[in-house]
Amino acid sequence: MKPVVIGNATLYLGDCMDVLPTLPRVDAVITDPPYGVLDEAWDDMEQAELTRFSMSWLSAVRAKSDVMVAFFGERQRGRFQELLSMLYPKVRQLIWNKNGGQAAADRFFYAYESIYFCHQGSRYEVAESVEPKSLTVANLIAAGRAAAGISRGAVDVLIRGKKTGLCYRWEEADCLPTPEQAEALKNHLPMHESFGEALADAYSTRERVVSNARRNTGESAAKHAAKSLDVLTFSPPKNKEHVCQKPVPLLIKLIEAVPDAQTILDPFMGSGTTGVAAVQMGRRFIGIEREPTYFDIACKRIEDAQRMGDMFGHDVRDAYEITDQQASLLEGVR
């Protein structure tokens, strides 16, 4: 099966279940698969057929990468979440807010789509690396509260004036109290004398982990963690060449969520939006599409993006200093 090669993009016309076994492993899979909500021939499946199909392609994709970002229809959320949880240790739901929507029979609008960010856990759990758990501090706070004979909610009220769930997080080792909160704890609870030393050790460990993360990534881990909301707001493209076409800036944002992924695979390439985003960002791309009409459209769009990248350097956004909002507007008229 001979692919079409366009710069850094390698494109296959064929069924992904035939092509995937022939491919090497990649850094990330980013895709918009069929999920049985349209009357299109490629998407019109009964529930049992859709489940079997999804199990097949998900298993094949899982063998190619530890990271997958995939769109799924809201009506299929329960079914797909269960399948994804069987294959990936970490499954995080993101939301694509479409800035509008399509009217449904119940008079509400379909104004968003679910996106699932699936991965192994260790490389993308920034919160765990920045805030290392300290079971010693957690146990000492729990012991002090028990000795005082009060609830976790009552501790919150004493420390912050209202119930906030903070004491739950301390006792479950999800975070550490600030120095001011630690002083308040010692003032209100009979804390063990080792509390101060344990907390100082936990602070030291956290600082060491953050310093290591900065050296390893070349940037602040905390800044990286706060790079994006989990609700991504982008208007759909106005001039769509595929019924399910996504805006390029949205795909750029999703690729940015996997900063070390140099090779992106899309087994359901459609009109090639993931490939356009990858090429614009200077990433390598592998795309598979079984419909010849959409394959030809994808080839042209990716070729145009590659040509633009060759003219102005790999990342077209940097060449023009385009913001996400401006890119979204440009995509609407592209």
- Per-residue pLDDT of the chain (334 residues), as tens digits, is 789 999 999 999 999 999 999 999 999 999 998 874 445 554 555 667 777 888 888 999 999 999 999 998 766 666 778 888 889 999 998 988 887 666 555 566 677 888 999 998 755 543 333 344 567 898 899 999 999 999 988 998 998 888 877 888 788 776 789 999 999 999 999 999 999 999 998 888 777 766 665 555 555 444 444 456 788 888 888 777 766 778 899 999 999 888 889 999 999 999 999 999 999 999 999 999 999 999 999 999 999 998 876 544 545 444 433 444 444 444 443 3
What is residue 308's predicted lDDT score, i.e. its pLDDT?
A: 79
Interatomic CA distance for residues 277 and 145, integer angstroms: 52
Domains delineated in the chain: 4-119+231-333 (3.40.50.150), 128-222 (1.10.260)
What is residue 5's predicted lDDT score, i.e. its pLDDT?
A: 96
What is residue 220's predicted lDDT score, i.e. its pLDDT?
A: 44
Interatomic CA distance for residues 140 and 273, integer angstroms: 52
What is residue 18's predicted lDDT score, i.e. its pLDDT?
A: 94
Backbone angles phi, psi at 138, to 5 degrees: -60, -45
Determine contact, residues 72/116, Cβ cutoff 8 Å. yes
Backbone angles phi, psi at 12, to 5 degrees: -115, 130
What is residue 130's predicted lDDT score, i.e. its pLDDT?
A: 38
């042209």: which residue's tokens?
A: 300
